[in-house]
Amino acid sequence: MTTLYVSHPSGLDHHTGGLAERPERLLAIEEGLAGPEFARLRRELAPRGTVETLLLVHAPEYIEHVMAVAPREGFYRLTDTMVMSPGTLEAAMHGVGGVTFCVDEVMSGRARNALLATRPNGHHVKYDASGGGGMFNKAAIAARHAQVAHGADRVAILDFDAHHGDGAQDIFWGDPDVMACSTHEMPLYPGTGKARERGVHGQIVNVPLKAGDGGEAFLAAWRDIILPRVVEFRPDLIVIAAGFDAHSEDRLSHLELQDEDYAAVTRSIMAVADKICGGRIVSEVEGGYRLEPLARSVRAHALALMGIHSDLVNHS
C-alpha cells in the first residue's frame, strides 16, 4: 500500500474575483508534489460527488440554495468570503466525490492513507451555512461517509488550520461518535474555538493559541493535549483538515509555523493512527494562501504521510 493523492482540474475553474483563495493554490500544490521523491505517490482524479452525499452533513434547504444561485456567468457572492463563479459548483462536487473516494480507498485497505487537494475549502461550512471560502464541509463528509458506508463506529477530525474548525464543531456538537479537535490562533476569524467549547459529550477539543506562539507551542498542544484524547476516543479513522496558513510566511495569521512543524505534527498523528486505527488517515487541504510556503508545507505533509523524512530528501 502507498499514499493516495487525489485532485481534479475543475478546481482551476473556481474563481473568486481576486480573493486569496485562488486557482493558483492548486498549481502550487501540484508543483510541490512534482519531485522524484513522489514517484511512489498514487495519483487519481476525484470523481464527482452526489447530492445524497451532501445530505449526510448539510441541510436540504442549504444545498438547494447553493445549487439555485450557482451562476452561469459572472460571480455570485454567497457570503462576504465565498464567491461563486460558473465553475465553482462543479469544482465543489469533485471535492465531495474526492474525499469520499479517499475514505473508500483507505477504509478498504487499498491505500495506506490519502491526501486530497481540491477547491473550494470547506472546514468553516456548517450544517446550514457557508463559511470562510467554503461551500461544503469535506472533512465532515469524510467522517460521516466512513460511518455510513464502511461501518466506522467513531471518527476523529483533527484540524490544524490557523483558523478554528467551526464547521465540524457545529455539525457534530451533539454527536458522541465524532470527535472534532482544533488548534488555531485566537483572536482570529471566525471568533469561535475557546477551550470551554467542548460539545454535548465532551468530544470537542479546542486548543487556542496566540500570535507568535510558534512551532513549540503548536506541537505541544497536539502532543500533550489533543492526541492523548484521540487515543482515549479510539476512532476507526482519522480525518485531517490540513490548513497551512499558520506558516510564518502566510500573513493571514501570526502563529509563525515552519515547514518542518507540519511534517512533525503529521508524524505525530500517524503514530497515533498506527496505534489505534491501523494507520487509517484521510487528509484534505484547507488554508494556505502564500503560494511558495503552501507548496513547501504540503510537500512536507505529503512526505510524512508517505513515511519519508523530509530532511533526508532535502539533504540527499
| CATH classification of the domain holding 76 | 3.40.800.20
Cell numbers for 237: 479513522
Which amino acid is residue 305, in one-letter code? Answer: L
Give me Rg for the CA atoms of the chain.
18
Angle, vertex CA 272, rays to CA 256 and CA 225, nearest 5: 55
Work out the pLDDT band at 251, boundaries 50, 70, 90: confident
Task: Point out the catalytic residue in the list 8, 14, 94, 124.
Answer: 124
More confident residue, 63 or 81: 63
pLDDT digits (tens, 9 = 90+) for 257-296: 999 999 999 999 999 999 999 999 999 999 999 999 999 9
Peptide bond before residue 120 is cis, with ω within 30 degrees of 0: yes
Mean pLDDT, residues 92-101: 98
Helix (H, G, I), strand (E, B) or coil at 241: strand
- The alpha carbon of 257 is separated from its chain's Cα centroid by a whole number of angstroms, namely 17
Overall average pLDDT of the 90-108 stretch: 98
Residue 280: give the domain boundaries. Answer: 3-314
The CA distance from 141 to 265, in Å, is 23
* pLDDT-based confidence at residue 316 (cuts at 50, 70, 90): very low
pTM of this prediction? Answer: 0.97
Cβ(205)–Cβ(235) under 8 Å?
no
Quick check: 189 pLDDT over 70? yes
- Is the pLDDT at 315 greater than 60? The verdict is no
Across residues 124-139, what is the average pLDDT?
Answer: 97
Q: Report cis status (omega within 30 of 0) of the bond before 228.
A: no
- The mean pLDDT of 170-193, rounded to a whole number, is 98
The answer to whether 124 is a known catalytic residue is yes
Q: Residue 1 pLDDT more than 60? A: yes
Question: Could you please report the per-residue DSSP string of 193-240?
Answer: --TT---TTS-EEEEEE-TT-HHHHHHHIIIIIIHHHHHHH--SEEEE
Asked if residue 34 lies in contact with residue 72, where contact means CB atoms within 8 angstroms, the answer is no
- Average pLDDT (302-310) is 92
Q: What is the mean pLDDT of residues 213-237?
A: 98
Q: How many domains does the chain have?
A: 1
How many other CB atoms are found less than 10 A from the CB of residue 3?
23
The answer for 35, left when phi > 0, alpha when psi is -120 to 50, beta otherwise, is beta
Helix, strand, coil distribution of the chain in percent, nearest 5: 40, 20, 40
Residue 198 has pLDDT above 50, yes or no: yes
pLDDT band for position 309 (cuts 50, 70, 90)? confident
Phi, psi for 237 (deg, rounded to 5): -150, 145
Looking at the DSSP assignment, which residues form a beta bridge with residue 6?
Answer: 44, 116
* Residue 61 pLDDT greater than 60, yes or no: yes
Of 242, 45, 284, nearest in space to 145 by CA: 284
The pLDDT of residue 310 is 66
Q: How far apart are CA 276 and CA 287, in angstroms?
A: 28
Cell numbers standing for residue 249? 510566511
Sheet of strand 204-209: strand arrangement: 42-45, 3-7, 113-117, 281-285, 237-242, 155-159, 178-185, 204-209
- Whether 77 and 129 have beta carbons less than 8 Å apart is answered as no
Distances (CA, A) of 17 to 21, 23, 77: 10, 11, 10
User: Cell 469520499 identifies what position?
Assistant: 100
The predicted model gives 206-234 an average pLDDT of 98
Mean pLDDT confidence for 130-135 = 95
Q: CA–CA distance from 137 to each of 157, 199, 250 (Å)? A: 12, 18, 23
What is each CA distance from 115 to 70, 91, 138, 200, in whole angstroms? 27, 17, 12, 30
pLDDT at residue number 8: 98
Average pLDDT of the chain is: 96
Residue 312: the pLDDT is 58
